[in-house]
Copies of this chain bind each other. A is one copy, B any other.
Amino acid sequence: MTWQIHRGDALAVLPTIPNGSVDLVLADPPYNSGGRTAGERVGSTARDKYVSTDAGHTLADFAGDNRDQRSYTYWLSLILSECLRIARPGASCLVFCDWRQAPATSDALQVAGWTWRGIIPWRKPISRPQRDGFKRECEYVLWASHGTPVRHETPIYLPGLVEGSQPRGAARVHITQKPVGILRQLIRVCPAGGTVLDPFAGSGSAGVAAIEGGRSYIGIENTAHYAEVARGRLAQAAKETSA
């Protein structure tokens, strides 16, 4: 099992990756939602939108979260269409999104040529209640495939919903960090020994899950700080797994 992190913009790096070389695309793009108004969406940084003013932590900011919804859909379809080229026939694609971007994300997937196959809610048990309304307790993972999904040698049956809270305290190194436990469950859709492509690697949680699960990993991350963080976590995970 090998791993690599490319430092650069996904749209610039993806074209350098050869055709039909990965078995799962796992994308956690910047959501470009969260602001209550169009002005708030384009004006503020990701930190201002996603981190409550009373939150104590001081996590690094990330760029690329300032698109309006139409541009978001177009941009994401460009990314996903490059990913389709890189994916083997039968490969799966999993894209994280929040409730607001779910329709745009399903559009982008299908525009890019992927076959949409389902929605897997990610339930976050620790979430803020909302007065006089329904709690925003879930994010969503859209599942798609490149044609007919591959048949696994030993059949697998995956859950229809995943649960797990975001890492807290020292374990949390990125604002929108996903729990490794969630990613471990999702990565099982990639045949054992296969390769996972992650165009928005962030702090590398998907890579950690991939390596622990015996898959190779190709990550792309634009922010130099997070690319470094991811390399550190991946080296550590690779060492622990081989041990």
Q: Determine if B134 and A143 form an interchain contact, defined as CB atoms under 8 angstroms apart.
A: yes
Q: Determine if B157 and A135 form an interchain contact, defined as CB atoms under 8 angstroms apart.
A: yes
Known A-B contacts A103-B106, A161-B138; A118 and B132 likewise in contact (beta carbons under 8 Å): no
Question: Which residues of chain A in 106-134 are interfacial with respect to chain B, using CB atoms and an 8 Å cutoff?
Answer: 106-107, 116-121, 123, 127, 129-134
Q: Determine if B133 and A189 form an interchain contact, defined as CB atoms under 8 angstroms apart.
A: yes
Number of interface residues of A (CB under 8 A): 38
- Report if A57 contacts B (CB, 8 A): no
Known A-B contacts A102-B119, A161-B123; A143 and B152 likewise in contact (beta carbons under 8 Å): no
- Report if A12 contacts B (CB, 8 A): no
- Report if A170 contacts B (CB, 8 A): no
Q: Considering only CB atoms, which chain B residue lies closest to A137 in the complex?
A: B160
In the A-B complex, the 10 residue pairs with the closest CB atoms: A137-B160, A135-B160, A103-B103, A99-B119, A129-B157, A121-B121, A134-B158, A132-B152, A131-B155, A103-B106
Task: Show 23 A/B contacts (Cβ-Cβ < 8 Å), sorted by A.
Answer: A99-B118, A99-B119, A103-B103, A103-B106, A103-B107, A117-B134, A121-B121, A121-B123, A121-B161, A123-B160, A123-B161, A129-B157, A131-B155, A132-B150, A132-B151, A132-B152, A132-B155, A133-B143, A133-B189, A134-B158, A134-B160, A135-B159, A136-B160
